[in-house]
Amino acid sequence: MQTPVFMPVGTLATVKAMTPQEVAALPASILLCNAYHLMLRPGSEIVARCGGLHRFMGWSGLILTDSGGFQIFSLRQLMRIDDQGVAFRSHVDGSAHTLDPERAMAVQAELGSDIAMVLDHCPPSDAPRDQVLDALQRTTRWAKRCVDQPRPAHQARFGIVQGGLDLDLRRQHIAQIVEVGFDGYALGGFSVGESPEQMAEALDAVAHLLPADRPRYLMGVGRAEDLVRAISAGIDMFDCVMPTRNARNGQLFTSRGRIVISNARFRDDPEPVDAACACPTCQTYSRAYLRHLYVCKEILYSRLATIHNLHYTVDLVRQARLAIAAGNFAEFERRFFAARVQDDE
């Protein structure tokens, strides 16, 4: 893959509302699946018996699997964490499970992904410093256990840096995780409650400390403005559910900002979502038609809106990549922010 790159999210081995062929046509070269969710449904052993995740879902590109660290954060009311691992109740059926570094890597080996993420402990952005320190130290201990586990010959492993908004802790943890040694490095614990300005300030302070000869991955960030700022700070890889989730909820991305398609002003609007967009949705359908589908709760709306939002996001990062290659990223960044309008919905 060429970086910077945006990875569409296919949590359950599917990018919602899209076929793998449509995702590839965006074009997307890599997508993200979630080992925690696939461990519960259908089970990593079933995926392995079906030939691995690529064959199971009919995807010929690259796959990165997240280990479940974010679910420890987002579903923490169902979990109990200690140095050994995580004991939790399934959000699906309430059944009891455990997830530790050894199990996290074994599941991802069965799935056969191309990039496996270590198991990490992600604290809330407003957690006290002692809790953030405890989480990052546990993440380091878990990372060392992860690298000791067997893996498929083709599978790369990425370490994850925690530390919240405490820049000293971020720097400390970068040094620890780099010392363990990984094929790539991720910044976790962002976009979990802090402001965009706080995240941008932290990225400017620490992203360049990650090894320059390894991919730098910012986990869970997908707002257009945040993507451009993070690329400027030196980030290579991104993933986020925003393009698909926001599409289904009626929010569409454009070069001038976001629009809410349910607004009455789009009832008879013959224009495409974004005149500057080359996606199949914008080349064929009007805002009025998309609003009609959304108001009527037609399934086709979710498909057309998802195609547009993902195309916009993937293409934005592609344009940034081309600007870097041409040596004019600063001008690209200036024009991007100049085009955003004040009444962004």
Catalytic residues: 66, 239
- The two structure tokens encoding residue 188: 């976790």
325, exposed or middle or buried, with CB in 10 Å at 0-12, 13-18, 19+? exposed
Instruction: Please give the sequence-ordered ranges of beta strands (E in DSSP) within 208-286, or none if there are none.
Output: 216-218, 237-239, 251-254, 257-260
> Helices (DSSP H) in 235-328: which residue ranges?
242-248, 280-284, 287-295, 299-326
- Spatial contact of 312 and 253, defined as CB atoms under 8 Å apart: yes
Residue 252, phi-psi category: left (phi > 0), alpha (psi -120 to 50), beta (remainder): beta
List beta partners, residue 47.
Answer: none
CA distance 106 to 155: 12
Q: At what angle do helices 299-326 and 329-339 cross, to 10 degrees?
A: 140
- Spatial contact of 225 and 337, defined as CB atoms under 8 Å apart: yes
Q: Which helix (H) or strand (E) holds 180?
A: helix 167-180
